[in-house]
Amino acid sequence: MDVVVVDYGMGNLRSVSKALEAVGAPTVVSRDPARVRDARALVLPGVGAFGDCMANLEAYRLLDAVRDVALSGRPFLGICLGYQLLFDEGEEFGRHPGLGVLKGRVVRFPHDLVDGGVRAKVPHMGWNRIRKAAPTPVLAEVPDGSHFYFVHSYYPVPEDPDVVATTTEYGFPFASSVARGNLFACQFHPEKSQKVGLALLRGFWKMAKGEAGTPRR
């Protein structure tokens, strides 16, 4: 069983696929809508602007295929912008519809953000800590309080607090990952987060093979 990484022209595909292969997951990078739709396990990475990524998914006829897999209950991993696109709407450079898999909006960190008593930089860039909000099989091997690598100016605000898997503090706590069934998506970059990132990807691969614990909800 291959893990399919979606190629829509706006993702760090090589580093994501190499990290998955490092934990034993056979990986295929594809922009073929039929290949994506039939994937047993799918990864949606993303780097760039929300509206541009949605436009590229549509241009490559991948929009419905990605949405269908995300709603199907099959193992699905969203990374960074691939996390944000799952929500109803993003406000980066105007208002843009997302995939609508999860209810909520993607908003920008405030310009006057203060973290730890000092003015915080936006984008939020570098290592930061996650706090587990609820047990999640993908994070079974990741200790609570682990540091992951972030690069982003926008973050999702889920309408349903029960989908929040982890929070991270940057001026205030925000949802740094979500989990629902076999879907897991994170704002941080596991492929750039060394040992804990590989532990997360190993957890996803175990879930894809049916070897992880019971998925959330």
Phi, psi dihedral angles at 85 (to 5 degrees): -65, -20
Helix crossing, 13-22 with 194-208: angle to 10°? Answer: 70
Classify the phi-psi angles of 81: left when phi > 0, otherwise alpha if psi is within -120 to 50, otherwise beta.
Answer: alpha
Distance CA 73, CA 158 (A): 19
Distance CA 69, CA 180 (A): 13
Q: 48: which residues sit within 8 A by CB, 6+ positions away?
A: 10, 81
- For the annotated catalytic residues, the residue numbers are 80, 189, 191
